[in-house]
């Protein structure tokens, strides 16, 4: 009996010694289908994917994710159209806005999430392109400069939505970590942050005036001019009115746009990206 016990104890000891000698290396697994983020975003093709991802939330504001295009809400608030639907219970989100009965978490909560998702992706793209990617030639340096300007302008666009609808909001240019607690700034402070990004993009001058063909839909200099002017006028920042006017005059005199002969045609699918359009 004792012999059996000794043999059992010896076997257990031997197994334990074997596990200890192996260490934890046998638990390490190499993933053959995925790369760590810091290894993935080391070339231009993958960096461009992160830039495209920053664009994606633009269409989340439309009917696909929201059931109501975000452009309808200000029209209802301004009494330029009246809410309605198939019956008295249809499109209640419009009626809530129309009657000033909505709150921060009713009706517009999807737009809140959409905008901050866009902010997060913009911050990610900037992080990846500067912390993981090392451009190896002049062309790649120029590409990174354009990508940065695009993403900064998109972030300003997303924050503009949040600023319009909620005023005092949490603003950050590096994604939150841990408990995801951020500083809530006043609407005036948020305006300053948005304007600073737009002025940085304009000063860098890395964007084309207009995109066509396969690049249609990418951020342009004239889009940034329009966004700058909208933000300035919404804030009623008279100190920047002359600059905004200069940008508008530059768009008009560029001869890249013109009025359509048939105004109604711009609302048709065939009228998308017509000669009146600066950005859609």
pLDDT digits (tens, 9 = 90+) for 139-178: 999 999 999 999 999 999 999 999 998 999 999 999 999 8
pLDDT score of 220 more than 60: yes
- Tell me what pLDDT residue 24 has: 64
Question: Please, which pLDDT band fits residue 104 given cuts at 50, 70 and 90?
Answer: low
- In this prediction, residues 3-10 reach a mean pLDDT of 49
Q: Sketch the domain layout of the chain as residue ranges.
A: 35-206
Tokens linked to 257: 């746009």
3-state secondary structure (DSSP) of residue 30: coil
- Helix pair angle (241-253, 221-235), 10° resolution: 150
Q: Which CATH number fits domain 35-206: 3.40.50.10700, 1.25.40.390, 3.30.1060.10, 3.40.50.11540?
A: 1.25.40.390
CA angle 29, 176, 110 (to 5 degrees): 105
Residues 6+ apart with CB under 8 A from 207: 146, 149, 150, 153, 201, 219, 220, 221, 224
């Amino acid at each position: 009996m004792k012999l059996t016990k000794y043999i059992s104890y010896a076997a257990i000891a031997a197994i334990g010694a074997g596990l200890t000698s192996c260490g934890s290396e046998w638990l390490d697994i190499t993933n053959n289908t995925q790369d760590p983020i810091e290894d993935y975003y080391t070339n231009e093709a993958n960096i461009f994917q992160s830039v495209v991802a920053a664009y994606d939330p633009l269409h989340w504001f439309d009917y696909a994710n929201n059931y109501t295009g975000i452009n309808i809400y200000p029209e209802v608030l301004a009494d330029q159209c009246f809410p309605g639907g198939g019956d008295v219970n249809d499109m209640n989100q419009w009626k809530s806005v129309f009657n000033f009965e909505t709150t921060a978490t009713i009706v517009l909560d999807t737009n809140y999430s959409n905008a901050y998702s866009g902010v997060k992706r913009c911050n990610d793209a900037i992080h990846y392109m500067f912390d993981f990617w090392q451009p190896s030639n002049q062309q790649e340096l120029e590409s990174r400069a354009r990508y940065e300007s695009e993403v900064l302008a998109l972030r300003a666009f997303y924050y503009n939505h949040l600023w319009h609808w909620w005023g005092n909001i949490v603003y950050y240019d590096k994604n939150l970590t841990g408990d995801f607690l951020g500083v809530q700034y006043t609407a005036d402070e948020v305006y300053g942050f948005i304007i600073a990004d737009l002025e940085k993009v304009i000063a860098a001058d890395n964007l084309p005036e207009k995109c066509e063909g396969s690049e249609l839909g990418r951020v342009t200099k004239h889009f940034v001019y329009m966004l700058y002017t909208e933000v300035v006028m919404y804030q009623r920042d008279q100190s920047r009115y002359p600059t905004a006017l200069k940008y508008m005059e530059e768009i008009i005199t560029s001869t890249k746009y013109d009025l359509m002969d048939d105004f109604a045609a711009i609302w048709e699918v065939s009228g998308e990206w017509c000669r009146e359009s600066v950005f859609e």
